[in-house]
Amino acid sequence: MEQRPRPDWEDRLQKLARQFPYPPTPDLTHRIPRRWAAPTGRRRWAWALGILALLLGILLVSPVRASLLEFLQLGAVRIRFLPITSTSMPAPIPSPTLIGTFPAPISTASPERAGLDLKGETTLEAAQAHVPFRIRLPTYPPDLGRPDWVFLQDWGGPVVILVWRDPARPDRARLALFQIGPGAFVEKFAPQVLTATTVHGRPALWAEGPYLMQTRSGRWELMRLVEGHVLLWTEGEITYRLETITGMEEAVRIAESLSP
């Protein structure tokens, strides 16, 4: 319904808008679960864990895995998989692959090199004053103590990075705990190991791979702080990411020791 005369240029605008080359609309009916209503409470977690385990099973053993799932979202962290194109010949099943693989070398930061090359170095107290959530520290292992380095970064939302030095090899970090606040968004690439587990009975992922982080110069670089694996889990609005040189069971134990 028109209520005022349209200048010529508005007609031109309309004409151009009609020529806009939209990408094809995906069929969303296939992306939305058939059970519309979400279960609640404990049942919801059991349901989510079951689905997660099922999806991971499919991902690891089925040739149709990526056609069913192009990414997995856990809190603020999204893991993308490369959609498999259909071929007439069955192919060997590789480990989960990814889109956006990076030709650039992935760096593992060295604490000895005048501290970590990460933007936002601060203290625990200063970081706490700037984030809208309580920064939690692991109480396991008992000798862990306070982190050796604390960083505060903005990934679309606040992210606190706590790093502990490896006492046996001071040139390496033994543990890095990311506490990713509301609004932050993380895209994870190159997961080479992917296993479903739980932290306090809630779904968690055990994965391997680097992350995009901001260096002191302000550049974003793909890096990991610890030469090991990563445990991902969420509690409330916070997504936790633990980089550790330990195995999965030990990582879960550290995750479940966060205070309070």
Q: Which residues bind other proteins (CB under 8 A)?
A: 1, 3-4, 9-10, 12-14, 16-23, 25-29, 31-32, 34, 36-38, 70, 99-104, 154-157, 183-185, 187, 212, 214, 220, 222
Q: How far is the CB of 201 from other proteins (least distance, A)?
A: 25
The answer to whether residues 213 and 189 touch, using CB atoms and an 8 Å cutoff, is no
CB of 209 to other proteins, least distance (A): 14
Residue 190: left (phi > 0), alpha (psi -120 to 50), or beta? left
Q: Extract the tokens encoding 137.
A: 């520290």
CB 239, min distance to other proteins, A? 13
The half-sphere exposure of 88 on its side-chain side, counting CA atoms within 13 A, is 0
Amino acid at 102: F
CB of 246 to other proteins, least distance (A): 29
Which of helix, strand or coil describes residue 12?
helix
Least CB distance to other proteins at residue 186 (A): 8
**CB of 159 or CB of 196, closer to other proteins:** 159
Give the DSSP H or E segment for 152.
strand 149-154
**Both tokens of residue 71?**
């990414």
Q: Judged by CB, which is closer to other proteins: 17, or 89?
A: 17
CB closer to other proteins, 34 vs 42: 34
Closer CB to other proteins, residue 104 or residue 114? Answer: 104
Closest approach, Cβ 39 to other proteins, in A, equals 13
Nearer to other proteins, 103 or 260 (CB): 103
Please tell me the distance from the alpha carbon of residue 166 to that of residue 150, in angstroms, as a whole number. 15
Between residues 151 and 206, which has the closer beta carbon with respect to other proteins? 151
Q: Which has the closest alpha carbon to 80: 61, 60, 103, 97?
A: 97
HEC string of 234-257?
Answer: EECCEEEEEEECCCHHHHHHHHCC
